[in-house]
Structure formats: C-alpha cells, structure tokens
Amino acid sequence: MPRAPTTLDPFTAVAEPKRRQVLEVLAQGERPVNDLVESLRWPQPQVSKHLGVLKKVGLVSVRRVGRQRFYRLNGQLLKPIHEWVKHFERFWRHQLERIKARAEQKARQSQGPVRKPSQSEEPSQ
C-alpha cells in the first residue's frame, strides 16, 4: 500500500517524527536555516527537505533577509491537531489518576499503621 502524500494536511506532515523535531525547535522562536541545522545536527539538505514539507502545508512560514531564510512556526495551524487529540485526553488522564492513587496507597502502606503514644509517652501538662 503506498504511503499517503505528506503534503495533504498538517496531520500527515507531523506524522514524520523528524518534522515534529523541527517544529519543537521552531516553537522556541524564529530561526535561520543554519541554526536549525546546528540545533538538529542534521545535514542541511535534510533540514531543508522537512522545512519544505512543513511550509507546503502551512505549518511554517519563511521570510528572507538578504541571503538568509528565517523560518517560524505557524502554531495556529496545529490547532486542529490539538482539538482532535483532546478527544483522547480522558484516556491518559484516567491512567494518571490511577497511577497517583496507587502511589499514594503504597506510600500509606510503607508508613505502616499510625501508632498512638502510650500514656507514659504522652507529654505531661
């Protein structure tokens, strides 16, 4: 079965883990290509390839200053992804609540029963 084209929409574009890494770096602010190459430690053609896909679907925009290209994240276009993922939040929230409850139960068990001081140990008034 052939792969879906990555340039259809933001969902297919961010399916590639390397493009998500590019977005994570750009979430910190606008960056020139050379900074992205340095931050990601990838060859420049690889960075440019992923930037091209992200630009085509609108997740990043570019501006030129002289010979340099500066890329920035268009976070608004990630909103449909966020809205879709929110439908599944209840699954991991439930898991986190269960983990918290188990941890609290184990903490109580490890402390043992609370011992009342005997009359001889009680401070005199």
* Domain at 21, CATH number: 1.10.10.10
Other C-beta atoms closer than 10 Å to the C-beta of 87 total: 8
The answer as to whether 3 is a domain residue is no
On whether residue 29 sits in a domain, the answer given is: yes
Contact 51, 33 (CB under 8 A): yes
Amino acid letter for position 7: T
**2 or 25: which leads in pLDDT:** 25
**Is residue 99 assigned to a domain?**
no
Q: Which domain holds residue 48?
A: 10-78
State the residue for tokens 């929409």: 9
Domain tally for the chain?
1
Q: What is the average pLDDT across 29-57?
A: 96
Residue 28 covered by a domain? yes
Predicted TM-score of the model (pTM): 0.69
Question: Is 1 part of a structural domain of the chain?
Answer: no
Cα distance between residue 12 and residue 90, in whole Å: 24
Q: Quick one: pLDDT at residue 122? A: 56
